[in-house]
Structure 1
Amino acid sequence: MTLKITRKKDCGNSPKNQLVEALVIAFARRDIDFILKSVTDDIIWKVVGQATVQGKDDVEATLKSPIYNSEVTELNIDHVSTHGTVGSVNGIRK
């Protein structure tokens, strides 16, 4: 199924913002290879209201688990923000 993506024009206004946006899209598409190539071994992935996953191995295991197996058909990216070594995105996935 095709993923419909909508985003604000200012989301990709820096290379770091572009990377964080690309990561969010990769998470929605379940592009595990891209995600693992783009993050460091000490990644901390915080999903608001759900869980915090630490480390590349745990991120990979989570992405491959049945819990994370729902298909995303629409992704609305409202804001992408980066500062130093951290990044954040807010929006809605359906």
Structure 2
Amino acid sequence: MRVTEKGQVTIPKPIRDKLGISPGSEVEFVERNSVVELVRVDAARSVERRRAELLKALEAMRGTLDLGGLTTDEYMEEIRGPRDDLDPR
């Protein structure tokens, strides 16, 4: 099997069939005792990984928005305008 300039290889069809890999499937290369294994990532683990990546990105953004002393409600009204579904008493 040859590796392309982009670092890609073609997974043989019998292996794709055995692992249930189809276009769009996620796979990982896992190193165990100097042997690298190709494993299919199940959907639940994929969702778990995406959730972890999202939480990491959100944490990186924490504290980067300066509201200028406004409360959340005041800021939302500032960017959206006053709510017309509330009784203005």
- TM value normalised by structure 2: 0.23
Looking at CA atoms only, which structure, 1 or 2, has the larger radius of gyration? 2
Query: Please, what TM-score do these two structures have when normalized by structure 1?
Result: 0.22
